[in-house]
Structure 1
Amino acid sequence: GTPGGVPGGMVDEAPLRVGGAVSRPEKISGPQPVYTEMARKARVQGVVIVEAIIDEKGNVTNARVLKGLPMGLDKAALEAVQRWKFKPATLNGRPVRVYYSLTVNFQVQ
C-alpha cells in the first residue's frame, strides 16, 4: 500500500458546508436510536443534535453531540447516527464530504 493509506498521495480536502452549490446529503437508511430504560421511565423527551461529517460514500464520520439529553440518550443517538447511510452531498455533480447537523427526536410513546 501507499504510506498513510492515502491513494496517490491525494490531500484530504476539508469538509464543506451545505449550501449554495453544495447539495445536502439525503438519509437512505439507518436504525432508530434505542430509548434507554431509565429515560423511558423518567419520560425524558426532546432532541439530540449531532454534528457529523458525511463522507463521499455517504458514511457518517466524526460524529459528536452538539445538544444532548440526559440518561444515556445522547449516547444512544450517537450510536444510531453512526450506522446511518446517506446519499452523499454533491458539488457540481461530484460527491463531496460535508459537515452536517442531524436531529434525533426522542418521544415517549
Structure 2
Amino acid sequence: MATEILSRGWDEPYYVVRTSAFDAFFLVGEEDPDEVANVDVRIQYPDGSRWGATMFTLDEVDRLMRRWERTGEYADGRYFPVSRDLIVREPGVPKMTAVLIAMHDNDDLTSVLDRYGIPD
C-alpha cells in the first residue's frame, strides 16, 4: 500500500507532515516551507524509531560550494562533505516529503538516513 499524507502544518519549531507510515519533522526556521532548499528533517515511525538527515537541493549544494570558493572552506569549495545526508532535485517541503515517501515505499529510507537513539 502506498504511503499517504494525512496532515501537514506547524508545530513550532517544526513544520510537520504526518503520513500513514511516519511523521516528518522539518526544522524550517524562518523560510517558506514551499521554498526551503536546505533543511534538517527527522522521521519518526510509530514504533518510536527516529531517523534524520539534512536535505539539500542541487542548487543549494552549488550555492554553498561557490561560497566556499570565496571563504576557503572545503579546499576552496572543491568538495561537498556529505555523510548520510540527502541531495534532492527540487526545493520545498512538499517535494521533499514526496522523496521521503518514495524512499519509505521502496524500503530505502532507513538505510540512507541516520538512526537517532533507540525506541522508547
Bucket of the pairwise TM-score, normalised by the shorter protein: under 0.3
Q: Quick check: which one's helix share is greater?
A: 2
Q: With a CA cutoff of 8 Å and minimum separation of 6, indicate the structure with the bigger relative contact order.
A: 1
Please tell me whether Structure 1 or Structure 2 has the larger radius of gyration of its CA atoms. Answer: 1
TM-score in terms of structure 1 length:
0.25
Q: Quick check: which one's strand share is greater?
A: 1
TM-score in terms of structure 2 length:
0.23
